[in-house]
Amino acid sequence: MPDSRNFMFAVEIGRSIVVQQLNQVPPGLEIKQVAQLRMPDFHSESHDLSIGGKIKSLALDPTGKRLAVSFDGEHRGAELIALFALTSSIKPKLELTGYIRGPQWNPQAPKPQPPRSPYQDGLVSRGGKPGEADIDGGHRDDNTDSHEKEEEEEEEDDAAAQTEADAATAPLPTTMRFAPEFSRGALLSIAWENGQVQFVPIYIR
């Protein structure tokens, strides 16, 4: 941290940031833990969106006033970077100020594809095609065919909906750093997994 007395760290995929204090000058070494800041964890009512939780990486601006945190996972919400205001005191505190969202996938760009649905080929009777005689000489009932067709269509709809949801997930952040100098506050640079680099100015009064 800027005062060269306190430092912070987080264990990978941990949920808390630890702040420790150096109480002696070199060559002496005395370390005291002064704070353990747990990250907020939010879920939507349907639990299809989750923000926060396990920490992936940290970035602290040179003034020590803003902290950016990215989170582990590939679920919806993992693409968001949390931005905190950090108060410098005997016991530092974090105040969530908002989230940073990156770019969307370019329709022509390669992106992670969801697993292929096993239902796309349709169902085939033991006789070879739906409606044909089975090997044992029986015949598939029309009502059975209709029922299986409805189930197949429902499964294909579910698979298509999942594919659309996966494709809509935004690129995840891979690296983020604050610029060494920015006269109006802090400048955060973020590299996303689709190859784009984003610059986010943070104006501090």
DSSP symbols for 115-139: PPPTTTT----TTSSTTSBPTTS-B
The answer on 96 and 10 residing in a single domain is yes
For 176-187, the pLDDT digits (tens) are: 999 999 998 999
Phi, psi angle pair for 185, to nearest 5°: 145, -110
pLDDT at 68: 96
Structural domain includes residue 193: no
Q: Are residues 158 and 71 in the same domain?
A: no
Q: Is 199 a domain residue? A: no
Percentage helix, strand, coil, to 5, in the chain? 15, 35, 50
Alpha-carbon gap, residue 93 to 25, rounded angstroms: 25
The verdict on residue 13 lying in a domain is: yes
Q: What is the DSSP secondary-structure string of 21-83?
A: EE-S-TT---EEEEEEEEPPEEE-TTSS-EEE-SEEEEEE-TTSSEEEEEE--SSTTTT-EEE
Q: How many structural domains comprise the chain?
A: 2
Distances in Å between the alpha carbon of 109 and those of 73, 105, 133, 141, 172?
21, 7, 47, 47, 14
Within a domain: residue 135? Answer: yes
**pLDDT, tens digit, 9 for 90 and up, residues 87-120:** 876 778 889 999 999 888 766 655 555 454 444 4
Of 52, 74, 102, which residue is a domain's last?
A: 102
- Could you give the 3-state DSSP secondary structure of residue 112? coil
Indicate the residue among 102, 132, 148 that finishes a domain: 102
- 15 and 81 part of one domain: yes
Per-residue pLDDT at 148:
65
Q: Are residues 90 and 10 in the same domain?
A: yes
Residues 41 and 96 in one domain: yes
Same domain, 144 and 80: no
Q: Residue 76 above 90 pLDDT?
A: no
Burial of 166 (0-12, 13-18, 19+ CB in 10 A): middle
Instruction: Show the domain range for 81.
Output: 6-22+33-102
User: pLDDT tens-digit profile of 10-46?
Assistant: 987 789 999 888 887 777 778 888 888 888 888 888 7
Q: Could you tell me if residue 78 is inside a domain?
A: yes
Is residue 81 a part of any domain in this protein? yes
Over range 117-129, report the average pLDDT. Answer: 44
| 192 in a structural domain | no
Residues 198, 70, 99, 182, Cα dihedral to 10°: -50
Quick one: 10 and 47 in the same domain? yes
Same domain, residue pair 96 and 165 = no
Question: Does residue 148 fall inside a structural domain?
Answer: yes
pLDDT at 92 (0 to 100): 82
pLDDT greater than 60 at residue 74: yes
Query: Per residue in 131-175, pLDDT tens?
Result: 444 434 444 555 555 666 676 666 666 555 544 444 456 899 999
Q: Six-digit token pair at 9?
A: 């760290």
